[in-house]
Structure 1
């Protein structure tokens, strides 16, 4: 197994996992590694992962079970909307965890706010963290907290998770289903998109409804981005992108990051760890055919979803790289998929 292709990943939820396991010191857990993590410092180094978008997310208070997603046909209830008073405390707690990791790693983990920072971190062997907000519940309609988050390093933002908020509407976890499952952006959401463009913050469309997607497409002056989504044509989940959406992303010079979650890879929508890596390759090949080789990368959803056991964690990224190589993809294309396309996208948005 080879590990010669460096990887910048478009999405992970390790900060959520660290937040939920606070009986274990999160700094030691991340720096030393834990068997239960998809991403920690040792696994990242083992798999060639040098950086990525690290998500901050406000967990729902609802006692909602996602066990039904194992069966292939499901309709998970939409979580109750959350305002800033409920959404902000967990975001601050996760930020505090990240700041401690950065400080106590002594340079091994670095928050980055530009591609220059990312390149510098990679060159000295550090893990480059770009802060992402998955669902904008923590932000007030006046966008004052957006300024605070920006000062803390926020450079990527999804207006919604799969939950409605004051900025827009998310797609529920249903299967099968169309992404056209509700209204789009609110007036507050439109102001948020304009602010993100002005502040050079990536707008992530991974969880938004199709109407919301087109609202962003009409408003935004930046490339369209879905950090962790797949092709609806191969897996008809509302979380995946239709061909028309993929075409719009391509036409703006945007990006799609392949989501490793098995329920978004499989045509039957099942959440199964024995899902073959070949399905990841098929999704990537479809995205490359539709978008072009300059607009596809990885958006693993590590530590936020069940992924194929053959990959297992960030240490197993070379398994996917080798599968793509076996399919005939050149090293030049693998370097684009691994990191170059993400770095190009970020250079055109946050710099």
Structure 2
């Protein structure tokens, strides 16, 4: 009997330890971890610089609440602002909380109500962020959704340009849909989104919870597209596994989040801030990000070449070290075959294999992973043919 709600379809793996790019189960089996805690452990498991920063902070102060000045928050916020289009930061505990803050700020600042999002998007599982998410499977069974969220087809430039509603407070978008299938935005589509926001005097919110903190080879994914978001939301890779989220906003928005307008007991906790500062000290270096882009391009090219004859593979896509392999069938059997050979990965929707290795992964480890993926696809394809 378990004392936990069965909200997760857990794998039959119990992790005993994790280090770098590898996870080890209680039976002593080693796995290449291309899940990274779902794009969280961008520096791998137990990065030394983050561990050192946390140990130092543990000897100083753990928690005091946001009634006090916390110097580390200012230092972390400064680093985020210096690498983004924003001017001020609100700290939360998760991506969903960061997106909740963004929704509240957009409505309060504009005095308007509608938020436009996109089909197959994912913005969280709280009540408002579930309502913002353009996936029925996330919303079913919970009754009426929060009002005034409307959805458009992703990558449909004309649908965006046709918007003409004076009550639109913001358009909220992922520059690469993660849970929706690792689908990168087309540049002309994102440009249309930005232009429409300007036309309607609405805010542009970019959800960087999965694409941020170096995952795509830039500090933030939107940098690939030359757009200037009014609000950016973060979490996942920000704290190397320590829970922290953040919302970054432009200076024009600061007055709309005055004292008492929003808050969080644990947001910007000194331990979380210490972890995030140490993480960004490593990732927000141009040389580090350049290596991520180079490894990502190399890995994608390798996968495309290696899998071009595989009958189950439809497309390989993505940016940096956020890649997806779209299949012509459900991906679960392929993931199971990969786990058997010592490689962990996720699906993104039913038929996309999502690859999110630590950004510190080596070329040899990428090559090993590609070979396991190829073998797993071959095994599943052969098994399917035998059944027929």
Under a length normalisation based on structure 1, what TM-score does the superposition of the two structures give? 0.31
Under a length normalisation based on structure 2, what TM-score does the superposition of the two structures give? 0.29
Between structures 1 and 2, the one with greater strand share: 2
